[in-house]
Structure 1
Amino acid sequence: MRFVDVHWQDHGFFLDPRAYLAELPRLRGVLPPGAWAFASDPGHYDIPGAVRCVKDLELAGIRPATDKSGRLVLEFAPNRFKHDTGLRISYSGVRHFSVEYHHAIDWMRVDTVLLDEILPDGERDEDGAEGGGCVHEIALTDASITVRCQDLRAEWGHSG
């Protein structure tokens, strides 16, 4: 991630979204509408308390399209100590999707979200044109997810 700082420190994760939150106002009108709505939600980075904070959600499902529609759905179950409901993120116009597993923390039952970051996608396509859309990076406790897409829609209220 470019602005959000997530790394292992001593006996736990160090998480700092302040640089991203400082950059976020400049991304208004640059990020696609769904990505902007999700990233700018007041509770998104409220780590200590907000039930709409992504921190500690549990990765529950990855559903790529079986056709060439460019759709992808990620489902996150609520953390029973923090969230009332889970989160479903539906991506449209997916150009790239990857999961990189680190296999460094083998004592956790599931991968949970540490933090995420959504930026405009400046990558160029085969014709040299800018891709548009956005890049969503999600840091998990033992993996990372990257999605390049046209836009996304985040819906709270799912059980994951």
Structure 2
Amino acid sequence: MRYVDLDARVGELTGVLDPGPYLELLPALSTSLPPGARTFATDPSHYDFAGRRCVKDLTLHQATFLHEGQALDLHLRHNCWKHEEDLVIRYAGVTAVQIGTPNEPSTWDKLGTLILDEILPHDQGCSHEMAFRPGSVIVTCNDITATWVAAHCPQAHRG
């Protein structure tokens, strides 16, 4: 990640997640993002760790390439203690996908829980980097459409 700090320090505490540097730049960056990516990145709930639409703690359930690889759908499953919805992200005009996990080969099913993400302008439209525990994904595309969909969660939500 270029701006989101996944290992920030607060006093003596290390390993703190800090999207602050990214959020400070986001108003300027967002003017160069495609419309869907801009809407998703600038949603006030996106980085609200206590919010039900924060991407933190989602898990990748399914990745589906469509239209001969020109589109990609990622289905991210909710965390019952935090979310009431799943997140579906559709990438249009996909030009590159990079998956990284500690153990080779890097595959979708070894990514784990989403820590945080960062959407940046790119000459192809935008790039979306997602840090998972323990892997990462970077998708470069023309635009992103993010849709929250109702999820069934048998456990009680946090109050």
Deviations 1:115-142 (A, max 9, x none): 0000011xxxxxxxxx330000000011
**TM-score by structure 2 length?**
0.82
Q: Which of residues 19, 22, 27 is equivalent to 1:20?
A: 22
Q: Runs ≥4 in structure 1, deviation > 2 angstroms?
A: 11-14
Residue 38 of structure 1 aligns with which residue?
40
Residue 146 of structure 2 aligns with which residue?
154
| Secondary structure of the structure 2 residue equivalent to 1:141 | strand
Determine if the alignment matches structure 1 residue 93 to structure 2 residue 93. yes
1:4 CA drift (Å): 0.2
1:98 CA drift (Å): 1.4
Residue 132 of structure 1 aligns with which residue?
124
| Secondary structure of the structure 2 residue equivalent to 1:19 | helix
Aligned-partner Cα distance in 1 for 2:22–2:114: 17
How many pairs are equivalent?
A: 144
1:65 CA drift (Å): 2.4
1:13 CA drift (Å): 4.5
Deviations 1:29-75 (A, max 9, x none): 2000000000000000001x10010000011111112615x100111
Gaps of 5+ in 1: 104-108, 122-130
| Secondary structure of the structure 2 residue equivalent to 1:94 | coil
Instruction: Write the letter of the residue equivalent to 2:40.
Output: F
Is this contact kept in 2: 1:77–1:158, CA < 8 A? no
Residue 111 of structure 1 aligns with which residue?
112
Is this contact kept in 2: 1:88–1:158, CA < 8 A? no
**TM-score by structure 1 length?**
0.82
Q: Between the two proteins, what is the percent identity of the paired residues?
A: 41
Compared with structure 1, are the counterparts of its residues 76 and 3 closer, same or farther at alpha carbon in structure 2 (3 Å cutoff)?
A: same
Is this contact kept in 2: 1:91–1:153, CA < 8 A? yes
Higher normalized strand content (fraction of residues)? 2
Gaps of 5+ in 2: 104-109, 153-159
Is this contact kept in 2: 1:87–1:159, CA < 8 A? no
Aligned-partner Cα distance in 2 for 1:137–1:27: 15
Compared with structure 1, are the counterparts of its residues 60 and 27 closer, same or farther at alpha carbon in structure 2 (3 Å cutoff)?
A: same
